Structure 1
Amino acid sequence: MPDARSPMAPPRSLVWTRRVVLGALTAFALAPVFVMAVSSLKPLQDVQGPFHWLPSHLTLRPYRDIWHTVPLAHYFLNSLIVAAGATVCSVTVAVFAAYAVSRHRFRGRRLFSLTILSTQMFPGILFLLPLFLILVNLGNATGIALYGSRGGLILTYLTFSLPFSVWMLVGYFDSIPRDLDEAALVDGCGPLGALLRVVVPAAVPGIVAVCVYAFMAAWGEVLFASVMTTTATRTLAVGLQGYATQSDVYWNQVMAASLVVSVPVVGGFLLLQRYLVAGLTAGAVK
């Protein structure tokens, strides 16, 4: 193993430059989190006054009050149901669609792939009014209340999470040797059995990466949730606005609630990080 004096070792100046740059980037990324954490431990009058990096008075009261100022637990449940539902539906459909595009050649395959990719080029606000009208008209035609419901919001989120999920999994399935499918078919599996028993286990990192993306996209989405929900189905991203009243803004509670609602996403990301990195790497290489 080369030591510091070996010609193969990087120059000391490069090592220190790398450390300084990475340290500066880390400080830049963690500074907002530190400000949020400090502000969440201050009384409201201290937050509204001049900012100090170290609080003079520490209190945990904002973490207790966040559950009473707004129905945060109800918003938390709505977000969890919607994000989990959108993730399950998106990944389930994307697995079958991506497998068909990756393994089979059919008429319109290239057009289908280009259409999926082109949907990511348009801003979400362009789809807001059409989706609103679709949900309202479907509800009037079928008698199923889609607008203002969790199910309607899940369908809305599928419009932007599903195309990306399919595109991502197509690249990952392409990196899996076709010999695995052929071996499964020789052993007596049908196409569905080969997918579920062989290809899906081999594609776990890519599927996990898609799950993380779909969940995070639904968890923090604001635009569609602010229009497609009612008071009963409001999600966290919209519900946090309840800490701002006509007379005041509870900034310490906003910071505390923001940290609390970030725990599931950050915790899940850290637990699934190795799968996420492997899935994104394979998709990018392809």
Structure 2
Amino acid sequence: MPETRRSPTAPPRSFVWTRRVVLTLLTVFTGLPIYVMVTSSLKPLREVAGEFRWIPHGLTVRPYVDIWRTIPLGRYFANSLIVAGTATACSVVVALFAAYAVSRYRFRGRRAFTVSVLATQMFPGILFLLPLFLLFVNIGNTTGVMLYGSRTGLILTYLTFSLPFSIWMLVGYFDSIPRDLDQAAMVDGCGPVGALFRVVIPAAVPGIVAVAIYAFMTAWSEVLFASVMTDDRTRTVSVGLQSYATLNDVYWNQVMAASLVVSVPVVAGFLLLQRYLVAGLTAGAVK
């Protein structure tokens, strides 16, 4: 029987087995919490509060029905969709024009603008909480435009930390697109804006999708600002999940069920747009 020869470019067996062990451990590490969440969401409350069992008994879908009745989860869900969707759209649109200007034009203060955009990412969000709170309250008292406790105020709040990163990321992606495409479009009669929409944006779809995913995930899962800047009418799901804990009891099975339900938009969007996200992050990191 002829001897099987390994390809000279194949990795050593030790590397292959090490990779398998590491991937297996990572799968178990990430899969166990998900398994506990899923099984706990299908248990009656008395079983969740009692002794933990890896194999549940008496599975029920009742928690998935009760989550909409115990608290106004539908309203919180709608608030999160409106806030996260609007913040994402505004962040992408503004970042497109700002990044295109920084990438394609040389103007006085360009470097200072870029450094300032990056510098905003160095500070923790809690430093901006009190200034934004006082700013929104004073604007409401002065002009009558109530930003505090409104979805508009929360959208503006999320733009303060999603927009700088979006601009920086798109600048890196636009820099990877040859300027010859812009010049060819201008030769055909397009202006700068026409070249942006007809040539640059179609070529930058992966980067734009990556920015949109980042902005949406940031706004969807944010808790600190949402817990201060909203009220019962404008509360989002990230804060509303705390309502399952009452003075008398904690509905753990409903907490798990609601957590899985509110994760569906982010997980589905990430899986559908994963290839764009990887391409966008790679191009942004090249810079």
TM-score (norm 1): 0.97
State, as a whole percentage, how many aligned pairs show the same letter.
Answer: 76
Partner residue, 1:21: 22
The separation in 1 between residues aligned to 2:90 and 2:272, in whole angstroms, is: 22
| Pairs within 5 Å for 1:78-227 | 78-227=79-228
Partner residue, 2:257: 256
SS in 2 for 1:248: coil
Q: Which amino acid aligns with 1:36?
A: M
- 5+ residue gaps, structure 1: none
Partner residue, 2:64: 63
Q: Which amino acid aligns with 1:174?
A: D
The separation in 2 between residues aligned to 1:97 and 1:10, in whole angstroms, is: 45
Partner residue, 2:46: 45
Q: Can you list the C-alpha shifts for 1:59-79, whole angstroms capped at 9, x where unaligned?
A: 111001000000001100000
The separation in 2 between residues aligned to 1:159 and 1:17, in whole angstroms, is: 43
TM-score (norm 2): 0.97
Q: Which amino acid aligns with 1:228?
A: M
User: 1:4 deviation in Å?
Assistant: 6.3
Q: Which amino acid aligns with 1:276?
A: L
The separation in 2 between residues aligned to 1:187 and 1:139, in whole angstroms, is: 49
User: 1:135 deviation in Å?
Assistant: 1.0
The separation in 1 between residues aligned to 2:278 and 2:5, in whole angstroms, is: 30
Q: Can you list the C-alpha shifts for 1:134-154, whole angstroms capped at 9, x where unaligned?
A: 111122222221111111100
Q: Which amino acid aligns with 2:21?
A: V
Q: Which amino acid aligns with 1:65?
A: D
SS in 1 for 2:51: coil
User: 1:28 deviation in Å?
Assistant: 0.6
The separation in 2 between residues aligned to 1:177 and 1:64, in whole angstroms, is: 53
The separation in 1 between residues aligned to 2:31 and 2:99, in whole angstroms, is: 37
Partner residue, 2:31: 30
The separation in 1 between residues aligned to 2:92 and 2:158, in whole angstroms, is: 12
- 5+ residue gaps, structure 2: none
SS in 2 for 1:230: coil
How many residue pairs match? The answer is 284
The separation in 2 between residues aligned to 1:95 and 1:6, in whole angstroms, is: 47
| Pairs within 5 Å for 1:232-251 | 232-251=233-252
